[in-house]
Structure 1
Amino acid sequence: MKRVTAVCLLALALAACKKEATPPPAADAPATPGTTLPAPVATDDGAVELKEVVETTPNYVVGITYDTQAAKYPGLARELKRFADGARAELVESANGRTAKENPSPYELSLTFNDVLDSPEMVAVSADGSSYTGGAHAAPLIARFVWLPKQNKLLKANELVPQKAGWDAISRYVREQLHSALSQRIDADDPEPAVRAEQMETGARMIDDGTGADAANFAMFEPIKAADGKLSGLKFVFAPYEVGPYSDGTQMVEVPAAVLLPHVAPEYRALFVGGV
């Protein structure tokens, strides 16, 4: 299933990031001590201000909150601000392009960034909110940013697991968990057998469409920290509509390191429990 507009904002933000020229590492750049990760690359360390945004006009209302320490990582801060600015620009354009007759209520955007993990090896920030531009309900605004401070770069799903075989395995595991959760939700309502069969068929189709063995379907993930500081696994995040109807909300599936490790790129294996 194609990702909804909210998630596409993240793709646009990351695509813009790719266009920025990044100088190659110096030939004599030392390896980072205590890890097999690639050596850091030089980047522009100019500070980025992550300032709360509150706007109220007759056409739109915007509230953006940065409840995060990401400003100490300029590259990550730029990614967060790019995502927020893009969401705001899209809302404002839509609001200014409509007429009061079409929709008398102001359009609304609410977005909050929170820290998920902040360690020397890895930083993760969540973005959760919504954008209302008319209709029955607001569109979800959901993104996840995983940053490698020592490499000054975002960690992307297709770099973490570079081979399709890896996504085949992850897809199977995630589907099993989502199918089980779907069954439990339906059974909780105790529907008639025919209704249950129809709901299971429809729900299973949405799950399978949204979890095909493609890194793009698993672009949003959060690291799960173990007691020793390494990662015990990853939590993959699916926005409403991706693997279920809007009423099911955001769905998450935790995939343990044991499932991931055989497929993780060698340079990132040391980040996980059991990695070398």
Structure 2
Amino acid sequence: MNSVVNRRALRASALALAVGVVLLAGCKRDEGDTTAAPAAATSAAQPADIDTAATPAAPVELRDVIENTPQAVVGISYPTDLARYPGLAKALADYASAARGELQQAVDGLGNDKPSMPYELSLSFEKVLETPQLVVVSADGSRYTGGAHGEPLVARFVWLPEQQQMLTADKLVADAKGWKAVSDYIADQLRERLATRLSSEDMDPGQLQESLRSASRMIADGTEPSADNFSQFQPLTGTDGKISAVRFVFPPYQVGPYSDGTQTVDVPASVLAPHVGTAYAGLFAQG
């Protein structure tokens, strides 16, 4: 046990050392900048974009990456025990490769120039759930290629070991009626959270109403009932191993400004289960 803890600590320390200088520099480059950066869509391959057909996958070795050059800093870390799920491992490797490819494209665009602040890719994969039926891995990080802020990288991978395939949003919910139910529940939760937060701030009534209207428009746009808006999710399980709720994850800019960061809403199984595809209904708690 101590050796595992020490190994993880060393790995985390090495990654932190490699990207720490950029993170500190990022604080300096954002200092005094109160203007929100334009929305930057994460264009690295998302789990739904990756080929996850139920065919045997060749073993994939996931190795942490620490690179530091005058033009760019790269730090990528993986869980250490995913070899038993080669299809999942390949999906993680493909996502990281796409993120690195876009960083490299930006670096290539510099030519012989050196950026005022090194470009950066920081990406951490973490296993957040493992049962015989479900393995869930989170990916969180950012890619900086100039400007006021880094581009957030947010993804969730839900692997079904028994079927040897990824569970994606378009498979999870069977039809438009189901997405409408999910959309309504999540939008209500976000609006309630927003109203509670804004009401605690020192605003005059007119300013409060305008802030509510503006933020509510972002929530409405980001929660329109389609699978694309709910592509990032992670199941939460009870003591019986069944899914008791699904946590939907929204990167910055989708349902709020960059300053609000990544937001999540947990949808109970009682709301979601009636709309789940037949093939996956057995994963959910009943009643």
Indicate the residue corresponding to 1:222 in structure 2: 234
CA distance in 2, matches of 1:221, 1:68: 22
Question: Does the 8 Å CA contact 2:245/2:266 hold for their aligned counterparts?
Answer: yes
Counterpart residue type for residue 17 of structure 1: D
Partner of 1:273: 285
**What do the CA deviations read for 1:125-179 (whole angstroms, capped 9, x no partner)?**
0000001111111110110000000111000111111200000000000000000
**Are residues 1:43 and 2:56 paired?**
yes
Aligned to 1:159: 171
The structural deviation recorded for 1:98 is 1.9
Query: Secondary structure of 1:9's match?
Result: coil
Q: In the alignment, which residue of structure 2 is the partner of 1:132? A: 144
Q: TM-score, normalised by structure 1?
A: 0.86
1:60 maps to a residue whose letter is: A
Does the Cα contact within 8 Å between 2:48 and 2:168 map onto a contact in 1? Answer: no
The answer on whether the counterparts of 1:68 and 1:113 sit within 8 Å (CA) in structure 2 is: no
Aligned length, in residue pairs: 249
Measured on the aligned residues, the alpha-carbon RMSD in Å equals: 1.7
Partner of 2:265: helix, strand, or coil? strand
Pairing 1:232-247 to 2, within 5 Å after superposition: 232-247=244-259
1:97 equivalent in structure 2:
109
Which residue is equivalent to 2:17?
A: none
Query: Match for residue 116 of structure 1?
Result: 128
1:78 aligns with 2:90: yes
Partners of 2:44 and 2:102 within 8 A in 1: no
Aligned to 1:201, which of 199, 202, 213?
A: 213
The residue number in structure 2 matching 1:17 is 51
Runs of 4+ off more than 4 Å:
99-102
TM-score by length of 2: 0.83
Shift of 1:14: 3.8
Matched, 1:5 2:41: yes
CA apart distance, 1:71:
2.7
Residue number among 67, 71, 78 corresponding to 1:55 in the alignment: 67
Distance 1:61 1:263, change over 3 A: same
Whole-Å Cα distance in 2 between the matches of residues 163 and 80 of structure 1? 28
